[in-house]
Structure 1
Amino acid sequence: MSHFAATTMHHALRHLGTAWLFTRSDFKTMIFPAMMFGTVVSPHYDMPALFCTFCWLWFHVFQFNVSNQSYSAHEDVLNKPWRPVPSGRISVKDARTLRWALMVFCLGLSSLFGSNVVITSVMATVFIIMNDDLRLSDHPVFKNLCSTGGYVIVEFASLLILSREFALDGTSIKALSCSTLVVLLTVQAQDFADVNGDRRSGRRTLPIIAPEGSRIYMLCALPLISFALASVWSLGPLSSLLFVSMGSWAGIRYYLFRDEIRDEANYRLYNIWILCVHLLPVNARFHALAW
């Protein structure tokens, strides 16, 4: 291999590594849940559609994270020093240039799947601007609203691309509504492990402004929401018991275990619970959780 080819390969691998680090955290929080949601809820799909959905989701999550992390480098030094900006793999200026380039690319990618997906991509960009450029992420309520909007957008897009339909059926609408409410009511779960960095940056999240109340809320909300979802999706006795137990255990952990390391573990358990939330509509399609 020539020196030029070796150098080119090295730079390409480094850029791929940087892209991976920008999106690493959100495979479990957005990409996998949205893929599972679309796969379970969509009336029909095929393997090419699954691949296209994954690509759309990854590039839009990439766009969001490059924008968000270009503004949060000072807190990421404490919370997530391995991210590309605080670790020095890319400068803030270059990250913000990349962010706008990704916006154009994502709109072009969306145009391959129809006007509704393009509109969804535009809405995603609007939420990114509201969250980052307008600094709504500094306000606890608006931060949750922006996060919820982002979740709903990627889930809606996954349904559109997978099903290749412009009209959603009753199960799809019901599933999207439930997902929206669940994320809106529980998305602050991601903020507990980041309290130190958020406080340093001046951000006011719910765990900062109400440290005790926010944990009591998680203790109560997760089991109650689990019970409500088990009823909404008509789960069987054993499925209901397992799902409600998982939500209850996650809520108990948030209340009892309060150091940063355990809050990271709590958030991992919450993400497993969210995956299960997105799996529940399978009972409406195939009665797979009626036992």
Structure 2
Amino acid sequence: MLQIVFRELKLCYGFVRRDLGTGLLPVPVFTLASLLYRNASKEEMVPAIANAFLYGFLYLYTFVVSNQITGVQEDRVNKPDRPIASGAESVSAAQIRYWTLTALYLAHGYTLGVGEWALLWVITTIAHNPLGFSNLGPTKDLCMGLGCIAQLKAAWGIGGSPPAMGWEWIKVITLYMLWPIPLQDLRDVPGDLAVGRRTTPILLGDMPARIYIAAGIIVSQFLLIKYRILEYRYDRSTIALSVALVLMTIGCIFRLFAFRSLTSDRFSYWLYTVIYVFQPLSACITLR
């Protein structure tokens, strides 16, 4: 029994470990922002955050399993340690895992009152993976933008605040996910070429893609800092927060152009995901 549990935990970690930052963490963090905005009691916060963690985990887990079912050939080039690519999990077993997780995810979203956003994510996942929207840059990037909306709208709803303020933040954060998201594809160009994908970096070429990504990071962070953070609250905490975001933005853009290799692009994408998680955290600090 212990061996079965250990194997399951190992497989689970193998599926989700690369995407915990963008897939899981923003949900409980943005839920906390919603709770703080409406001055929720501590007694309300504990179960809400726990439910948000479970929702975020299922949000991530359903997607990565589906993604890895349809991306075995690419993973054998770019990420051969993943469960299916490495042979630790068969495709048929992974399909059973996906549909089981999807049913749990939809049920949990329904009980939390965010069923429509859970459904949007399931539809987006199907479009991105089995329907092949991920094979073309513009449609792949659009799916990531829709996924951001589904993720953060659900998180805000779990926190129980009126949707208007949440949507003001989500629009700007979604721009960051929609526009510069091709940064994740810079590190996967060899595998994408091997399977015939035409991601944004392949369509634009390396240097134009880096300029496009940098522009998206700059515009989205300018809008976030000026019109969401400092316009709502101007004090030491938000000034320090804004400085931190500016420094991370500069660091990410500098790396994009100064270190152009697959290894460096992996680290640049990691920094990009840190900035993404920092944006719901910014809402917590600003809306408290």
2:240 is the alignment partner of 1:246: no
Contact map agreement 1:227 1:240 (CA 8 A) in 2:
no
Q: How many residues align?
A: 274
Q: Which residue of 2 aligns with 1:40?
A: 33
Report the alpha carbon displacement of residue 40 of structure 1 after superposing the two structures with TM: 2.1
User: What is the one-letter code of the residue matched to 1:20?
Assistant: Y
| CA offsets 1:230-266 (integer angstroms, 9 cap, x no match) | 1112155554343223212211211221111111111
- Sort the Cα spacing of 1:243 and 1:107 in 2 relative to 1 into closer, same or farther, 3 A: closer
| Runs of 5+ consecutive residues of structure 2 not aligned to the other structure | none
Q: Which residue of 1 aligns with 2:104?
A: 105
User: What is the one-letter code of the residue matched to 1:36?
Assistant: V
Query: Identity rate of aligned residues, in percent?
Result: 27
Looking at structure 2, the residues matched to 27 and 266 of structure 1 have their Cα atoms a distance apart, in angstroms, of 16
Report the alpha carbon displacement of residue 283 of structure 1 after superposing the two structures with TM: 4.8
Which of 131, 137, 145 is equivalent to 1:140? 137
Looking at structure 2, the residues matched to 9 and 283 of structure 1 have their Cα atoms a distance apart, in angstroms, of 42
2:125 is the alignment partner of 1:128: yes
- Sort the Cα spacing of 1:160 and 1:73 in 2 relative to 1 into closer, same or farther, 3 A: same
Contact map agreement 1:73 1:85 (CA 8 A) in 2:
yes
2:91 is the alignment partner of 1:92: yes
- Sort the Cα spacing of 1:171 and 1:257 in 2 relative to 1 into closer, same or farther, 3 A: same
User: What is the one-letter code of the residue matched to 2:190?
Assistant: N
Looking at structure 2, the residues matched to 132 and 218 of structure 1 have their Cα atoms a distance apart, in angstroms, of 23
Report the alpha carbon displacement of residue 177 of structure 1 after superposing the two structures with TM: 1.4
TM-score by structure 1 length? Answer: 0.88
- Sort the Cα spacing of 1:154 and 1:245 in 2 relative to 1 into closer, same or farther, 3 A: same
DSSP 3-state at the match of 1:281:
helix
DSSP 3-state at the match of 1:46:
helix
- Sort the Cα spacing of 1:228 and 1:123 in 2 relative to 1 into closer, same or farther, 3 A: closer
TM-score by structure 2 length? Answer: 0.88
| Runs of 5+ consecutive residues of structure 1 not aligned to the other structure | 1-7, 287-291
| CA offsets 1:15-55 (integer angstroms, 9 cap, x no match) | 12111211111111221123222222443351111111111
User: What is the one-letter code of the residue matched to 1:31?
Assistant: L
Q: Which residue of 2 aligns with 1:188?
A: 182
Q: Which residue of 2 aligns with 1:278?
A: 280
- Sort the Cα spacing of 1:108 and 1:223 in 2 relative to 1 into closer, same or farther, 3 A: closer
Contact map agreement 1:74 1:86 (CA 8 A) in 2:
yes
Looking at structure 1, the residues matched to 240 and 21 of structure 2 have their Cα atoms a distance apart, in angstroms, of 26
| Bigger Cα Rg | 1
Report the alpha carbon displacement of residue 10 of structure 1 after superposing the two structures with TM: 0.4
